[in-house]
Structure 1
Amino acid sequence: MSASEIADYGLLSDCASAALVSRNGSIDWWCPGRFDAPSVFGRLLDADAGHWTLCPVAASDRPAEREYVEDSLVLRTVHHSGDGAVAVTEGLVAEPGARGHELGRNSPMVLARVVEGLTGTVRMRCEYVPRPDYGLIVPYLHCRDGQVLADAGPLTLHLYSPVPLDCAHGRAYAEFDVSAGQVLGFHLASAPAYGPPPQRLDPAPALAETVEAWRVIRELHPYAGRYPELVRRSALVVQGLTYRPSGAVVAAVTMSLPARLGGTENYDYRYAWLRDFILTMRALWVTTCPEDTGRLFDWAGRSAGRTGDEPVPIMYGVTGERDLSEYSLDHLHGYAGSRPVRVGNDAWRQRQHDVPGVLIGAYLLRDELRPLSDESKALFAGLAEQATHWREPDAGMWEDRGPGRHYVASKAMCWGALDSAVKLAPIIGSHADPERWAAVRDEIRATLLRDGWNDRVGAYTGVIGSPELDASVLVMPGTGIVPATDPRMRATIEAIATNLMTDDGLVRRWPDDPAGFVACTFWLVECLAMAGETERAAALFERTAARANDLGLFAEQIDPRTGEHLGNTPLALSHVGLIGAAWRLTKPEFD
């Protein structure tokens, strides 16, 4: 059996790692301990890379119904068969007693699944096929005392089952009946191979505790704007993509899911991008308490460290790792045959001019400007100096792997970096050079508004001197370099809405982009709202929000022909885009 469609997966998270479970009850992705750890279930990328299925034996014409329990990331799925119905409630459990922001700081690395008979008697099957290290390891399975021990490589996996399982050839299997009112709990614990075994727990109370931990997070994060239910769901997803020990927010929990089926642009997104940082900070500011924004900001500053002549890396591992060198897993066939399957991401080596603006601008979003340490003052001054190199080409927002080019959005972010640095000069102190920074800032604006505009196209284009439209320029009004109401910016917004919009109403990044990009569509919503077209913006917002899957999750892109989600999932930038657009519709003047 192959992987399900990308939109068919639900997210489970303990704010340290994540699992994906399909509607038919198969956990096809889990990387215990850290988002970027090797998978133990990887059927998402290869039929033989591991899974854990728990579902009725007999298929039903009636699709399963699922929802998250009380605004948590604990999932409840109701399966139907000709003989009755069962519910499976599952999640990555919280550490005992954790509440709110304590969730994930010391994850027990336990995946719990509780089967409850609702009506009749349903024949169920449990198929457990662990394949650690991205499917490279076929472990020995030992079945004894209600436990299946998978022993191979750096981890041991302990599956505690209320029904006996037959073990053979790295696979454990059982069929069993569940009657109305009957409750059976399974749980799978991961532990280091050379450490103590994990403690056994009771799955049902553990999941109830986990729901309570998530409930406290929601109570800490009131939201008083438009579309509150949609915003709260996206905020919960962003929380689920947060590596709580450090505060980093990963771009997605998956790797190598393709933007084009069968294509080769399949990248590992289980890291934290500074490019997305200011948008994520803004989303957290809108929907969460200051602790989240503070921890994320502190993580970014610590990860960036001391700046020099070399550009600040655009991305990091969840605890600040810089070297994210890329390699291919040639033994995996890839999602829908999309190869290569990549681990790591060589974009960490790229120069992107937006990074300084992202870091300095994010500081201005904080509720209060706390005093900067000497190290932070030097960091901000160094970032401002890097922005003065705006005339150099870079890889751009979409991380083109060819020669550097002069991207309009990148230079707009250099303007934003210097504009923010000038405002912060009194706080930066002796490290600051506000007069020179202001002069370079003004030079960038004059150059960009002159040379970034293409008379033949009638719009600001993606690259200076190029006739090709690019949705990245939709970030320009948000930087402050040009308002959305400016006639040229207004013409650019219309050109993008006319020429980059797919037939199903999503915005492509560029004309040959294979699918609509969810975040870019929400950026267009913001631009329309800032331009005063609130009703048009709201209609586009609602059409786009309706493209989420049944659990409110977005991948990176959506195929305009099939409506299928494409790219890594769930994508933080898509959900951050929804939050930003909803808040912009609430407060058009927000920046």
Structure 2
Amino acid sequence: MLETTFRTPSGTAVLLDPLVMGRRERGHALGKSSPGVVLRQITCTSGSMAVETTLAPRPEYGLIRPAMSAVRGGLSANGGSQRLTLSAPLPLRIDGSTAHDGTERQAGQRLDFALSSTVIGGEAAPEPWPGRRIRRRLKDTMNGWRSWTQIHQGYRGPWQKEVSHSGRVLQALTFTPTGAIVAAATTSLPECIGADRNWDYRYTWVRDASFTLQALSTSACEKEKAAYFGFLAQAAATQLDRGVDLLIMFGIGSERDLSERTLTHLSGWRGSTPVRTGNDAWRQRQLDVYGELLDAAHRTHPRDRWFEQPVRTFLLQEAETAARRWNEPDQGIWEVRGPSRHFLTPSSCAESRSTAPSTLASGPP
């Protein structure tokens, strides 16, 4: 749950932004049945605060400007394949595909909002939530996160608070149905404002796996660690017996084709273009991922148990493929976009440092 404090000459307000969890989800069940509702609560904690509310939904990366209409307790926005329902404690003025309102809150007063999404033609449009339900679900979600934290306190040592927080961040980046953990929940945020290294990081990189699994072990997240490795093993299975390269990354549902496209109609964050979805790094050959996945298996599997036969067969294929192909050219850990080459032979190390195009890497930060 993200908490932001605003301070102005007239007063102070605290904003809470959680993605609501399923009712009474606790511990390892956290996220199993999330209804896909974002809550927003702003509370004036001292003095007075002017609050402006704007809803400007732009589905499909801004290609659609939905039709908006007032409903009892909020707004409905319909466009493309989605229907959005906003639960709001005050009426908003509709201007085309945008809605606005301005109000002032005194100390102790709050505003509660909820935004839900449903597929048009599927389930019925949800009714807006009343304020008491929003507050109840917000509290329930907070208790769910606290329960998850309480059972992941096995680490004792330096930076204990930071380690615990890191475990929560990894849990928040996890797609619960498959166990996949994304590198980041964003796309096209630049490494430098105005630059073009604006990559889509909403995928799982095999190279990250051993580091992530190590972090999960440190944070005492054993079940999450097993689920993550299970996802990787299933996503990568059947590739090697077909003689193809082991993919370096996967979608959260084990998707393999992550073809990249540029959204030319968007200006990017602070003018940083291009805006991209997908990541063509999935097409690259990076031979280190064989070792990364083997290391992930080493870090994950209990020492006193055998691997199941399908996983065992796959890992044997991995080791044999790595032994056969380790000296072939590839794109390297820097994910340079261009022809395969040798990066780490003695004769090319100095050359690669001076000539590798630093603006073309596309892996996670």
TM-score higher than 0.5: yes
The equivalences for 1:316-331 within 5 A come to 316-331=250-265
TM-score, with normalisation over the residues of structure 2? 0.91
Q: CA deviation at 1:342?
A: 1.1
The counterpart of 1:390, out of the listed 312, 326, 329, is: 326
**Cα distance between partner residues in 2 of 1:265 and 1:88:** 32
Structure 1 366/109 Cα, relative in aligned 2: closer, same or farther at 3 Å? Answer: same
Q: What do residues 127-165 of structure 1 show as CA deviations (whole Å, max 9, x unaligned)?
A: 111111111110111013121100011111100110111
1:142 and 2:77 matched: no
Partner of 1:366: 300
Q: 1:316 to 1:377 in 2, by over 3 A?
A: same
> What is the match of residue 185 of structure 2?
253
Where do residues 156-175 of structure 1 align in structure 2 (5 Å cutoff)? 156-175=83-102
CA root-mean-square deviation: 2.3
- What displacement does 1:98 show? 0.9
1:270 maps onto 2:198 in alignment: no
Query: Which of 309, 322, 337 is equivalent to 1:401?
Result: 337
Aligned equivalent of 1:209: 140
After TM superposition, the runs of 4+ consecutive aligned structure 1 residues lying more than 6 A away are: 509-512
Q: Secondary structure at the match of 1:284?
A: helix
| CA shift for structure 1 position 368 | 1.1
Q: Are residue 312 (structure 1) and residue 312 (structure 2) matched? A: no
Does residue 197 in structure 1 map to residue 135 in structure 2? no
* Preserved CA contact (<8 Å) 1:290 1:367: no
Partner SS for 1:260: coil
Which stretch shows the higher mean deviation, 244-253 or 195-204? 195-204
Cα distance, 1:89 vs structure 2: 1.8
Please list the CA deviations of residues 363-383 of structure 1 after superposition, one character each: whole Å capped at 9, or x if unmatched.
111261432222112211211
Q: In the TM superposition, what are the counterparts of 1:47-66 in structure 2 within 5 Å?
A: none
- Give the drift of 1:510: 10
Note the alpha carbon deviations across 1:35-56, whole angstroms, 9 max, x for none.
Answer: xxxxxxxxxxxxxxxxxxxxxx
State the Cα distance separating 1:200 from its structure 2 match: 4.3
In structure 2, the residue corresponding to 1:214 is in which secondary structure? Answer: helix
Aligned to 2:230: 298
SS for the counterpart of 1:391 is coil
Partner of 2:273: 339
Of 312, 315, 321 in structure 2, the residue corresponding to residue 380 of structure 1 is 315
**In 2 relative to 1, CA 136–80 (structure 1 residues): closer, same or farther, beyond 3 Å?**
same
**Aligned partners of 1:217 and 1:511: how far apart in 2?**
44
Q: Which residue of 2 aligns with 1:221?
A: 152
Residue in structure 2 matching 1:237, options 142, 145, 169: 169
Question: Deviations 1:101-134 (Å, cap 9, x if unpaired)?
Answer: 2222222111111122222332211011111111
**Structure 2 residue 45 is matched with structure 1 residue 111:** no
- Tell which deviates more after alignment, 296-305 or 371-380: 371-380
Alpha-carbon contact 1:121-1:180 (below 8 Å) kept: yes
Q: How much does 1:211 deviate?
A: 1.2
Contact 2:180–2:231 under 8 Å retained in 1 = yes
Partner secondary structure for residue 350 of structure 2: coil
Deviation at 1:196, TM superposition (A): 1.8
Q: Pick closer, same or farther for the CA change 1:255–1:367 going to 2, 3 Å.
A: same
Q: Tell me how far apart the structure 2 counterparts of residues 325 and 353 of structure 1 sit (CA, whole Å).
A: 21
Q: Distance in 1 between matches of 2:343 and 2:333?
A: 8
Q: Contact (CA 8 Å) 1:90, 1:207: kept in 2 or not? A: no
Residue 180 (1) aligns with residue 107 (2): yes
The 2-side partners of 1:314 and 1:353 are apart by 9
Amino acid at match of 1:328: T
The CA deviation at 1:468 is 5.5
**What secondary structure sits across from 2:75 in the alignment?**
strand
Whether 1:350 and 2:284 are equivalent positions in the alignment is yes
Closer, same or farther in 2 for the Cα pair 1:262/1:115, shift >3 Å?
closer
Task: Tell me the TM-score normalised to structure 1 length.
Answer: 0.57
Cα 1:199/1:288, change in 2 over 3 Å: farther
User: Match of 2:59, SS?
Assistant: coil
Listed as ranges, the matches of 1:114-129 within 5 Å are 114-129=41-56
Give the residue type in structure 2 aligned to 1:380: L
Contact 1:326–1:342 under 8 Å retained in 2: yes
Asked whether the 8 Å contact 1:163–1:176 carries over to 2, the reply is: no
Number of positions where the alignment pairs a residue of Structure 1 with one of Structure 2? 355
Please state how far the C-alpha of 1:261 moved relative to its aligned partner.
2.9
The counterpart of 1:285, out of the listed 217, 221, 238, is 217
Contact kept? 2:42, 2:112, Cα under 8 Å: yes
Percentage of matched positions with identical amino acids: 36
Shift of 1:323: 0.5
Could you list the per-position Cα deviations for residues 552-591 of structure 1 after superposition, in whole angstroms to 9, with x for gaps in the alignment? xxxx9xxxxxxxxxx99xx7x6xxxxxxxxxxxxxxxxxx
Shift of 1:401: 0.8
Gaps of 5+ in 1: 1-73, 409-450, 453-463, 471-508, 515-555, 557-566, 574-591
- For structure 2, which runs of at least 5 residues remain unmatched after alignment? none
Q: For 1:275 and 1:334, how far apart are their aligned partners in 2?
A: 28
> Which residue of the partner structure matches residue 63 of structure 1?
none
- After alignment, is 192-201 or 133-142 more displaced? 192-201
Kept after mapping to 2: 8 A contact 1:141/1:148: yes
1:252, distance to aligned residue in structure 2 (A)? 0.7
Contact 1:118 1:181 in 2 (8 A): yes
**Contact residue 89 and residue 113 of structure 1 kept, 8 A:** yes
Instruction: Answer yes or no: is the 8 Å Cα contact 2:290–2:319 preserved in 1.
Output: yes
